[in-house]
Amino acid sequence: MKVSIAIERSIQVPAPVSRVRELLTDLESTIGRFPKLRKLSRIGDNAYLWEMKAIGSSVAGIAHEVSYAAQYAVDLDNNRMSWQPLPKHGNARIEGVFGLAERGGATQISFRVRGDLYDVPVPFMYRLVAPPFIQGKFTRLVDIFLERTRESLVDGGQH
C-alpha cells in the first residue's frame, strides 16, 4: 500500500540565526538527530541514504522500515536546506525544506516534509486508518527531531 505524508512543523530556539546556521552546514549531525534512524550512508556529495527502524504498530500488524535517498542543497544566503528524493533507492520518496528565520534574538526553525512511502504492509482491515496513523507516527518523529535539535542548541551546541 502507498501512504503519502505531509508534515509542517516549527520550533523556536533561544539562539541567533548566526549560531543556529551550523545545522545547515553539518548535515550528518543534523540528520543524525532524527529518531528511528538506524543507518545513514553517504552516497555522494550531500547525498545520503536513510535506513530507518520499523515505524508503526506491531499490534495492528503495521510496521514499515522506511529507506530512501535524497540530495541535499544548502542555501546559506537564505538560511535553508532542502532535499529532493533520488530515484532507485529504497521504498520511499521524500522531499523537504529546513529553514531558519530570525525572531528577535531567537530563531524560528521550520521543517516541511512530504512524500510517499511504498509497499507499506497493511492488513486489509486497517487500510482506511493506516494513512492517518502513519502520518501521526511521522509527525511525532518530526516533533522529537525538532526538540532534540532545540536541546542541542540550548545545551551549548552539543551534538
Q: What structural domains does the chain harbor?
A: 3-154 (3.30.530.20)
More reliable by pLDDT, 60 or 40: 40
Query: What is the per-residue pLDDT across 103-122, written as a single tens digit (0 to 9) for each?
Result: 999 999 999 999 999 998 88
Query: What is the per-residue pLDDT across 20-43, written as a single tens digit (0 to 9) for each?
Result: 999 998 999 999 999 999 999 999
- Segment 85-114 mean pLDDT: 96
* pTM score: 0.90
Q: What is the DSSP string of the chain?
A: --EEEEEEEEEEESS-HHHHTHHHH-HHHHHHTSTTEEEEEEEETTEEEEEE--EEETTTTEEE--EEEEEEEEEGGGTEEEEEEEEEEETEEEEEEEEEEEETTEEEEEEEEEEEE-S----GGGTTTHHHHHHHHHHHHHHHHHHHHHHHHHTTS--
